[in-house]
Amino acid sequence: MQALILAGGKGTRLRPLTMHTPKPIVPIANRPLLVYQLELLKRAQMRDVILSLSYQPQKIEDKLLDGFDHQVHISYTVETIPLGTAGAFRNAAGLIRETTVVLNGDVLTDIDLSEVLAQHREREAAATIVLAPVPNPTEYGFVETDETGRVARFVEKPAPEEVTADTINAGIYILEPHILDYIPEGEPFMFEYDVFPKLLEAGEAFYGYIWRGYWRDVGAASSYWQANMDVLAGRVQLLDKLPAEGGEKFDASVEIDALSVVDPSCTLKAGVQIINSVVSRNCYIEERARIENSVIRGGTRIGPQAAIAGAVIGKGCHIGRAVTVSGNAVLGDKSVVSDYSQI
């Protein structure tokens, strides 16, 4: 078995958090998003992984290298121009030899891929698409299956009265190698709009697998924040949460609750409180600052008596004395907030 992770997107919906960090390696609870996907694949005994890159590819390669540290073997393909989801699959044709699991690079889930593969083989499918139920399919478009599980149709951005199913494309596919024949070489091509309709027209054995467990598209800032909160709360059964062990520069009076993840390289001064939050490497948190339900990216300094609640703070920011940041605020990298400001 092989796996292809589509990791070439620019992450425009996730800006300003992706201005300097490619979306596939934005950290979730202090681990790159791609590491969660690699763990998902390893659980299904898939260790031959292809990463399809386009935007800032060197940063991703420098982070994951050949995959040895994650007990997988990683190969890379790089698009010179964006080719879309299916075009990226076609671009990796030289590396694809067998049934391939294809994942969108912005999906966080703990689905058991072994079960999806078992169904795919049992039905002798040419393609299987994982479907996730959502409360409001009109925001996405839905995928309808018949009583046997075969995909019947795709409906994009339906009106409420057109909705006949609550399942959407979860961005995970099992594809046989001959699916490559449906995709032209070197042209932008999408699974959703170009390939899957062709499979339906051709009468291919195209099935859906409905996953009702944890699934999240980490494509927008609000969803990125929620993904971090979900990992802290233990809703994602993939990797053990990193411990919030006391670093050498943690004052003895610091309070960190059991849910939080705080990198030990940080400096935490007297009276700091950290509650249900993620604090990344080399942050400097000054006296009596309080961080709650928030994500603080690396190298950020937070001034004395500052209060951060329900926010995402980018890398290398400077938050002044007695500043309040709340209400789902998102600050991009290197933001500066003056003393006593409220955001």
Angle 75-76-79 from CA coordinates, rounded to 5°: 155
Task: Give the pLDDT confidence score for residue 230 in this predicted structure.
Answer: 96
Task: Give the pLDDT confidence score for residue 240 in this predicted structure.
Answer: 83
Confidence of residue 164 (pLDDT cuts 50, 70, 90): confident
Separation CA 57–CA 76 (nearest Å): 9
pLDDT one-digit tens code per residue, 57-82: 889 888 888 888 888 999 999 988 88
pLDDT one-digit tens code per residue, 94-115: 898 899 999 998 999 999 999 9
Q: What is the DSSP string of 71-139?
A: TSEEEEEE-SS--HHHHHHHHTGGG--S-EEEEETTEEE---HHHHHHHHHHTT-SEEEEEEE-S-GGG
**Which pTM value belongs to this model?**
0.91
Q: Tell me the backbone φ, ψ of residue 179, rounded to 5 degrees.
A: -60, -25
Active site residue 157: yes
**Three-state secondary structure call for residue 310:** coil
Separation CA 90–CA 83 (nearest Å): 9
Residue 59's H or E segment, with its range, is helix 57-64
Of 237 and 247, the one with more pLDDT: 237
Confidence of residue 142 (pLDDT cuts 50, 70, 90): confident
Q: What is the mean pLDDT of the chain?
A: 91
Task: Give the pLDDT confidence score for residue 184 in this predicted structure.
Answer: 93
Instruction: Choose from 76-85, 152-161, 226-235 the range with maximum mean pLDDT.
Output: 226-235
Task: Give the pLDDT confidence score for residue 227 in this predicted structure.
Answer: 96
pLDDT one-digit tens code per residue, 253-306: 999 999 999 999 999 999 999 999 999 999 999 999 999 999 999 999 999 999
Task: Give the pLDDT confidence score for residue 319 in this predicted structure.
Answer: 97
Q: Using an 8 Å Cβ cutoff, are 323 and 305 in contact?
A: no
Query: Average pLDDT in the 173-197 region?
Result: 93
Please pick, among 10, 23, 63, 157, the residue that the annotation labels catalytic: 157
Q: Which of 3-12, 141-150, 229-238, 240-249 has the lowest mean pLDDT?
A: 240-249
Query: Average pLDDT in the 7-12 region?
Result: 76
pLDDT one-digit tens code per residue, 199-216: 999 999 999 999 999 999
Which residue segments constitute the domains of the chain, with CATH numbers given?
2-232 (3.90.550.10), 255-337 (2.160.10.10)
